Amino acid sequence: MLGVIVVLFAEDWRAGLAIAFFALIALSTLIRLRSIAVPYWRTYRQISADFFGFLGEQLVGMEDIRANGAKSYVMQRFHKILQGWLPVYHQARFASTILFWQIK
């Protein structure tokens, strides 16, 4: 983008100035809009990582879970993680949808 702006300034300073102004406005708008969806997706990725970490631990420790009778504890924890996952996913998708419609 910088190369295009430099070439436009060399050809016609008004075209270069117009494109530079447009690029600055577009970049600042995208940076502001990005702050809408990024926190939700960050939270979603953290919950997703927690879930898959939990799942991996349970698969590796399946024999210990059965031997110690911890199946109900594991299922309660599994259910709790999944209950937190869906609302966060919906918030992230909603924020992305708002972002998508603002750009159009």
Listed residue (30, 21, 28) closest to 102, CA to CA: 30
Question: At residue 61, does pLDDT exceed 60?
Answer: yes
pLDDT average, residue stretch 17-35: 88
Tell me which residue has tokens 């599994």: 78
For the entire predicted model, the pTM comes to: 0.62
The contacts of residue 78 (CB under 8 Å, 6+ apart) are 54, 58
Instruction: Provide the pLDDT for residue 102.
Output: 58
What's the mean pLDDT when you consider all of the chain? 87
Check the CA dihedral 12-13-18-19 and report its sign. positive
Q: How far is CA 27 from the centre of its chain?
A: 19
